[in-house]
Amino acid sequence: MGAIIKIASATKNGSATVNYIARQGKIDVTLTSAHLTPLDYQAAREQMRQTRDLMGKTKGRQGYHLVQSFDATDQLTPVKAHQFGQEFMSELSKMYPDHEIYMATHTDTDHPHNHFMINAVNSETGAKMAINPPDIYEMHEINNDISKKHDLVELTKAKNKVYPTEIAAYTQTGKQYERDLVKEKIYHARDQAHSYPEFEHLLSESDVTLTSEIGKRGQTIRQKYVTHDSEGKQWTFTASRLGEDFKKEPITHAIMEHQRKRDKQQSDREQLERSNTERLRGLTASVREVADEVRTERRTHESTHKPPQNSPNVNRDFGPER
């Protein structure tokens, strides 16, 4: 049990990262927070971009994407998880003063998790931040303190299998960038897919091949994501190295949860359409009834107030009087 903090990527596309974190605006506003930016994700994205533009720091690393995950056994509500995220963001703002931060809580897995985007450019000085191994250690300590404060069991670095590779990633610029790209492609395919086979198909369309092989001892199945960069070089990432979210079981669960939500949304839309149709029919029937009543009243009125017919002129009909 407890919480894990990890660096998902050092992104070269800050705007795309904010879009992903905010789920293109689909995250409930109560599960979003910000430091030095508006709560609205589009406004936050634009402000971060303007900061980079004004400071002339548009190339290279634009920000850091962090993820704070919680164990499913902690049974945290999204609101509670978000509160823990706000505490962590408050400490981040002390580590990196004058750096804009956007945060949102995702609920698409069996346990809520928080995503953070830190703008790499200082909004006051224009200096670019860099997260180094000592910073990562400090983040883990902060996260562990929050876990202790709220009676979540502290997680050691050994349990966070992604942690060593995350540090290594920042010393290998090319690999770091490909990790970012493949993660975004996996997330996108997962969120769009209606089934695991469709997930694999969507990955293949974005030049990512998912392979599985039996481990050396024949007990485990190793999943690998294979892709190519713009120069044609092949990159291979195991699901274990990318993180728990990229293994088959969590992805399958997320796909099922997305499908359940889509089905519910479709059902709600159909119910709303039926209600609107029935309401429209009722209004139409009422209009017809009123129209019939008006016509009936008009006919009654006309028959009651019909002017008398002129009597025939006797003299005219039978000749002049004598």
- CATH number of the structural domain spanning residue 95: 3.30.930.30
Please, are residues 37 and 44 in contact by the beta-carbon 8 Å criterion?
A: yes
Among the candidates 135, 161, 187, a domain finishes at 161
145 or 219: which leads in pLDDT: 145
User: What's the pLDDT band for 159 if we cut at 50, 70, 90?
Assistant: very low
223-277: pLDDT as tens digits: 899 998 777 888 899 998 888 888 888 899 889 988 888 888 888 888 888 888 8
Mark whether 32 and 119 lie in a shared domain: yes
pTM metric for this prediction: 0.54
Q: What is the pLDDT of residue 310?
A: 59
308 or 294: which leads in pLDDT: 294
Residues 6+ positions from 310 with CB-CB distance below 8 Å = none
108-148: pLDDT as tens digits: 877 889 999 999 999 999 999 988 878 888 898 899 889 88
Mark whether 188 and 218 lie in a shared domain: yes
Please provide the size of the chain in residues.
Answer: 322
Mark whether 149 and 257 lie in a shared domain: no
271-287: pLDDT as tens digits: 888 888 888 888 887 88
Mark whether 137 and 183 lie in a shared domain: no
Mark whether 3 and 108 lie in a shared domain: yes
Range of the domain at 261: 172-301
pLDDT of 75 over the 90 cut = no
Q: What is the pLDDT of residue 298?
A: 81
Mark whether 82 and 181 lie in a shared domain: no
Please indicate, yes or no, if residue 27 is contained in any of the structural domains: yes
Please indicate, yes or no, if residue 309 is contained in any of the structural domains: no
Mark whether 126 and 6 lie in a shared domain: yes
Closest CA to 39 of 50, 30, 26, 52: 30
**How many domains in the chain?**
2
How far apart are alpha carbons 184 and 308 in whole angstroms?
88
Please, are residues 55 and 121 in contact by the beta-carbon 8 Å criterion?
A: yes
